[in-house]
Amino acid sequence: MRQSSEAMLDDLFEGYDEQGFLSEGLPLARLTNPYYNVWEDLSDQLPDLIQTNQIREKIDLLPICSTNYLQTEPEWRRACVIMGYLAHAYIWGGETPKDRLPPQISKPFLEISSHLELPACATYAGLTLWNYKPTHPGSDITDPDNLHVQTSFTGTKDEEWFMVISVAVEAKGVGLISLMRDAIKAVAANDADLLTALLCRFADGLSDLTLTLKRMYEHNRPAVFFHQLRPFLAGSKNMGHAGLPKGVYYDLGDGVERPGNWLQLSGGSNAQSSLIQALDIFLGITHSATDGKQTSGPSFIQQMRDYMPGPHRRFLEALTPQANVRPFVVESTNQALKDAYNAAVNELKNFRDTHIQMVTRYIVMAARQPNPAEEGKCKMNLATVSSQVQDVDAKTGLAGTGGTDLIPFLKKTRDTVQDAKC
């Protein structure tokens, strides 16, 4: 029976213990079929087209491309990256918001997102997991210095650094996933000494994630992030104040109005990282914090699973009943084991503390800094204005790109981790 359980566990972790939630092999740099050159050429020019207020016009002139020529999973993912960037550029890249996406985007994007089991918007997967390339073949991708993005809204180093820091964190998290598997096996074998050693290594790995996250400050200026990049990450959910009271309509171009094609979707958010949720699940930490705008229903963190690729979402669902570490530690009288578990929880809390400090610097404080657009460095657009309206609110404080009341939500999540200590 134990061998059967171990085999099931190995099947669950297969692949994830080698590449984590990054795709197998490097993301596709370009769709090679010439049919999709119109997409790739537009994505190459995206920063300039946004800057010169031409992006909507160029998208409106695109043909409505079929998805029939997307053959491999890397091709579907690359197409998802492009469509996510074009969709958000179309919505936010002008003087007024667009609440209707033209069929040049809507039709292929809905098909692509359905194939990948994702919503048709820019997600964490499309912005980071499938949107990087190493400086050189074989480069260590746990070091953000060795990474570049393939597609960008702004073309700035600041945006690139923001994205590749997340890629490096995901790459470093691969080792933690294999430790999760081994720790679950140690519990099944009733091996407290092995579990203690694994939890100590797990705590060290979490500390390394925090050190990588702190490198964000090296090349990402808060004013550039807040005023130039962040507006394009916003979704269509809870954005009535910005001119999207009904969300965004995905027009299929056949003249038929479909009420169900009005979608309200969250924007790209690191809460959509399957790695971060897996860390909580493994340590037995359950978050009940909502998004600050609801009193019942799934928590915001649970909602964010809908923005993960289908296989990642199913991995988290399958991991949850296997997570046996916390109950084993709670029932144990082994103080060294409890200390090791508490050390891991404390390192996860430190990671979340670092995130809160970063949000304070890049959003709370940056909201009070002048927009570089006013210095002639970039074009002011509606997304920039709406982000200021959204974020600086005397009553609710700050809103995240996913629609959360940001600081209270993050603190509640951090405190839930702190409370998990034995």
Give the model confidence (pLDDT) of 33-66 as tens digits.
999 999 999 999 999 999 999 999 999 999 999 9
φ and ψ at residue 386, rounded to 5 degrees: -65, -30
Pull the structure tokens for residue 233: 């990450």
Of 311, 233, 305, residue with least CA distance to 276: 305
**pLDDT confidence bin for 315, thresholds 50/70/90:** very high
User: 14's torsion region: left (phi>0), alpha (psi -120 to 50) or beta?
Assistant: beta
Q: What is the pTM of this model?
A: 0.91
pLDDT at res. 362: 94
pLDDT-derived band at 395 (thresholds 50, 70, 90) equals very low
b or e along 115-154 (b: 16 or more beta carbons within 10 Å of the residue's beta carbon)? bbebbbbbbbbbbbbbbbbbeeeeeebbbbebbbbbbbbb
Q: Is 227 annotated as a binding-site member?
A: no
Establish how many alpha carbons lie within 13 A of residue 412's alpha carbon, considering only the half-sphere containing its beta carbon: 16
Q: Which domains occur in the chain, in start order? A: 2-418 (1.20.58.480)
Dist CA 47 CA 211 (whole Å): 30
The backbone torsions φ and ψ at residue 356, rounded to the nearest 5 degrees and listed phi first, read: -60, -45
The per-residue pLDDT for 377 is 45
Report d(CA 298, CA 387) in Å as an integer.
26
Alpha-carbon distance 34 to 91, whole Å? 27
User: Is 394 exposed, middle or buried (CB count within 10 Å of its CB: 0-12, 13-18, 19+)?
Assistant: exposed
Assigned token pair, 265: 């979707």
